[in-house]
Amino acid sequence: MDQTFLVNVFGSCDRCFKQRALRPKSEQLNYCSLCAEIVKATEGLRLSQMLSSYSQSILCLVLAVHQVAERVEALGQFVMKTRRTLKGHGNKVLCMDWCKDKRRLVSSSQDGKVIVWDSFTTNKEHAVTMPCTWVMACAYAPSGCAIACGGLDNKCSVYPLTFDKNENMAAKKKSSVAMHTNYLSACSFTNSDMQILTASGDGTCALWDVESGQLLQSFHGHGADVLCLDLAPSETGNTFVSGGCDKKAMVWDMRSGQCVQAFETHESDINSVRYYPSGDAFASGSDDATCRLYDLRADREVAIYSKESIIFGASSVDFSLSGRLLFAGYNDYTINVWDVLKGSRVSILFGHENRVSTLRVSPDGTAFCSGSWDHTLRLGWAWAAKREL
Amino acid sequence: MSSKTASTNNIAQARRTVQQLRMEASIERIKVSKASADLMSYCEEHARNDPLLMGIPTSENPFKDKKTCTIL
């Protein structure tokens, strides 16, 4: 509006009724310049009051678990330390898995060695040398009679475990079950020894029949390397979740090969995914230094576990038996234990001398085991008397 | 890949993406307050049986070194 050509109309102001030069406010109303300013100011005040009342009602919307869990009793501080160390690997430990007997575990390392341990005695029961280095994935069969492993060889091989002391494990014929076009990042048997699920750097996951090596189903959808997977607890059906370098966590239907849900809130690669014990949610650990909880029925992220002081990526996550605690191993050599409901950190575990690469809670929830680039695996459990871990 | 097949691939891919997104958008969701309440009740229900939460007495701990001498 060109002020110099503004024609001032003189008349009675509709607010103060004085005879003034009027500035037209609207079709019906004319205000003098003073009243025009006052009206503008009061309108602005009303708008801001409206906005603040809206924002207060928005804050009442539940967007995260901790808002609902306010009334839940907080956990006391835990005191942590390593209870037992498993030594024997010659290089970085990359992956580990518990046997269903809650006692044995299998671990794999960068130098190609795969070792089966008895965690009660720390004895090594079996050892295999793979023809490739960087064995990034290993899994124990549900029966306890075989292990699967793979890595830079782009394959997943299944080794039957022999308990005959005279038989050399390396001589035992192994079967190459899975063939991918890039490295194997994760593998897991399904409910039986007969089927195995794999994740690969080629961006796909696949379901294989162990005996024939046949591909039963493939899962396409990730836009980059898939780094981890976890099967839903058996009661909740045939689904699994995978996480990848495309920052996405995807939930798949194993029968149809379809992606049923996808979550993309992480800011970097997702290194680890693990289902909540009830199967209604899953947690993820990422290079963005956060762990997050996604609820499947609400179809969104419901919690984020982070601290400003934590700047290194989380490599591995697992829940305690009740799902109240989330154990997460980080690249800064520590394990942080989070209160899943409240979103706060309950404890830090020190002990590893290099990054923690893998972490699993035992099947009965009695203990947890972490593997690290410092060539060792460490076991921890909780004492009843003082609630020490 | 020739540009012609690339563009037809892009269209096919876009169609697939739209179809996937439609499918994902159509699933039934529950409120976060309900989902959180369920997670909380699951935790409370199973807290008693959680050895890492409650702790296990040394006598029952299978990982503890077996001592030769026991006080009865």
Residue B19 lies in a domain: yes
Instruction: Please name the residue of chain B whose CA is at the shortest distance from the CA of residue A303.
Output: B36
pLDDT of residue A357: 97
Q: Mean per-residue pLDDT for B49-69?
A: 76
Closest CB to B56 among A300, A323, A382: A382
- Residue A359 is encoded by which pair of tokens? 């972490």
From A195, A202, A198, A196, select the one nearest A221 (Cα to Cα): A202
**What secondary structure letter does DSSP report for A24?**
E
Q: Could you tell me if A322 and B49 are in contact, meaning their C-beta atoms sit under 8 angstroms apart? A: yes
Output the domain CATH number for residue B49. 4.10.260.10
Q: Do B49 and A276 touch (CB under 8 A)?
A: no
**What secondary structure letter does DSSP report for A58?**
H
CB proximity under 8 Å: A 205-264 to B: 221, 258-262
Q: Do B51 and A323 touch (CB under 8 A)?
A: no
Residue B34 lies in a domain: yes
Q: Could you tell me if A157 and A128 are in contact, meaning their C-beta atoms sit under 8 angstroms apart? A: no
**What secondary structure letter does DSSP report for A288?**
T
Q: Do B37 and A68 touch (CB under 8 A)?
A: yes
CB proximity under 8 Å: B 2-31 to A: 20, 23-24, 27, 29-31
Each of the 389 residues of chain A gets a pLDDT tens digit; together they read 444 455 567 888 888 888 888 876 666 778 888 888 888 877 777 777 777 666 555 555 677 888 888 878 877 766 656 788 999 999 999 999 999 999 999 999 999 999 999 999 999 999 999 989 999 999 999 999 999 999 999 999 999 997 765 555 555 567 888 899 999 999 999 988 999 999 999 999 999 999 999 999 999 999 999 999 999 997 667 999 999 999 999 999 999 999 999 999 999 999 999 999 999 999 999 999 999 999 999 999 999 999 999 999 999 999 999 999 999 999 999 999 999 999 999 989 998 999 999 999 999 999 999 999 999 999 998 876 444 45
A188/A388 Cα distance (integer angstroms): 32
Residues of A in Cβ contact (< 8 Å) with B53: 75, 320-322, 324-325, 382
Residue B9 lies in a domain: yes
3-state helix, strand, coil in chain A (%, to 5): 10, 45, 45
Residue B54 lies in a domain: yes
Geometric angle at alpha carbon A246, from A245 and A250, rounded to 5°? 100
Residue B69 lies in a domain: no
Which of A121, A324, A339, A340 to mutate: most B Cβ within 10 Å?
Answer: A324
3-class DSSP state of A382: coil
Please state the domain count of chain B: 1
Residues of A in Cβ contact (< 8 Å) with B62: 103, 120, 366
Residues of A in Cβ contact (< 8 Å) with B52: 320-321, 325, 361, 365-368, 381-382, 389
Residue B68 lies in a domain: no
Residues of B in Cβ contact (< 8 Å) with A299: 27, 29
CB proximity under 8 Å: A 337-356 to B: 340-341
Which of A86, A235, A301, A322 to mutate: most B Cβ within 10 Å?
Answer: A322
A236/A363 Cα distance (integer angstroms): 17
Which residue segment(s) compose the domain that B17 sits in?
2-58
pLDDT of residue A49: 74
Closest CB to A367 among B35, B43, B63: B63
Element (H, E) at A33: helix A33-59
Going by pLDDT thresholds of 50, 70 and 90, the confidence category of residue B1 is: very low
Residue B32 lies in a domain: yes
Residue B39 lies in a domain: yes
Going by pLDDT thresholds of 50, 70 and 90, the confidence category of residue B60 is: confident
Tell me how far CA of residue A56 lies from CA of A42, A45, A51, A148, A301, in angstroms: 21, 17, 9, 54, 22
pLDDT of residue A2: 47
A98/A140 Cα distance (integer angstroms): 7
Q: Do A366 and B51 touch (CB under 8 A)?
A: yes
Residues of A in Cβ contact (< 8 Å) with B47: 322, 324
* Chain B contact present for A74, CB below 8 A: no
The whole-angstrom distance between B69's CA and the closest CA on chain A is 18
A49/A318 Cα distance (integer angstroms): 46
pLDDT of residue A57: 54
Residues of A in Cβ contact (< 8 Å) with B23: 258, 260
